[in-house]
Amino acid sequence: MMESFYTHSPLTIQPIPSSPRCNLPPLSSEYTKDVGSKSHLVTANPSIIRQRFQNLLWSRKTFVDNMKIYNHSYIYMPAFSMKTGTEPSLRVYYTLSDVGANQTVLFANPNFLRSIGKFWKSRGIHAKRLSTGLFLVSAALGLCEEVALYGFWPFSVNMHEQPISHHYYDNVLPFSGFHAMPEEFLQLWYLHKIGTLRMQLEPCEDASLSPTS
């Protein structure tokens, strides 16, 4: 699963690393060595708000406390791409606004999400929905000069045939048949091979290859 990637913005003379991350991942100290600690944009799937935070119906404190780790990041949510995503997205927006949180909520343009879905479907990815990671990669490729991916490995063993978890912080799998992760991986691997982006699949031995810390 893709946990994070970094980009270099073409809008400045000196490239500024950006660290988008997927689906509110933990950035606590036990993970810092491997995934860094900085974030600039974090996606929040509405299903996570429903399942992990009870849709913010009862207590909002746990959610607000969890969000502090992301500092001044943008929180990117698909509020209008599906009806089921609207209420959780709005609850996140109002919760963070009410407490004066440092994070800023952004709602994805549903036309963009729809266009990206059609684009990848025409290239052989047949799934009910693209992964959050592929949506973010698609956006980054249109905005940035360099894109590097970390953690996009949708298999249960690594390249040395050692068992690994689905995420670096848990082994919760997506619903069966919902995403087409192997198909996505093949498309991204092709882009890696032709130099469009870089996939980091082995441990980072060089500090320059590590996620932003």
**Is the pLDDT reported for residue 6 higher than 50?**
no
User: From CA 179, how far away is CA 188, in angstroms rounded?
Assistant: 15
Nearest to 199 by CA among 163, 153, 135: 153
**Is the pLDDT reported for residue 5 higher than 70?**
no
**Is the pLDDT reported for residue 14 higher than 60?**
no
Q: Where are the domains of the chain?
A: 4-209
Q: 5-19, 147-161, 165-179: lowest mean pLDDT where?
A: 5-19
**Is the pLDDT reported for residue 201 higher than 50?**
yes
Q: Render pLDDT for 31-80 as a digit per residue (tens, 0 to 9).
A: 888 888 888 999 999 999 999 999 999 989 999 999 999 999 999 999 99
> Can you give the pLDDT at residue 38?
87
Query: What is the reported pTM?
Result: 0.84
> Can you give the pLDDT at residue 191?
97
Structure tokens at 94: 């109002």
Structure tokens at 113: 């999400």
Tell me the fold of 4-209: sialyltransferase cstii, chain A (3.90.1480)
- Count of CA atoms in the C-beta half-sphere (13 A) of 94: 10
For β-strands 41-43 and 74-77, DSSP reports them as parallel
User: From CA 129, how far away is CA 139, in angstroms rounded?
Assistant: 16
User: From CA 2, how far away is CA 23, in angstroms rounded?
Assistant: 10
User: From CA 69, how far away is CA 180, in angstroms rounded?
Assistant: 30
> Can you give the pLDDT at residue 74?
96
Mean pLDDT of the chain: 86
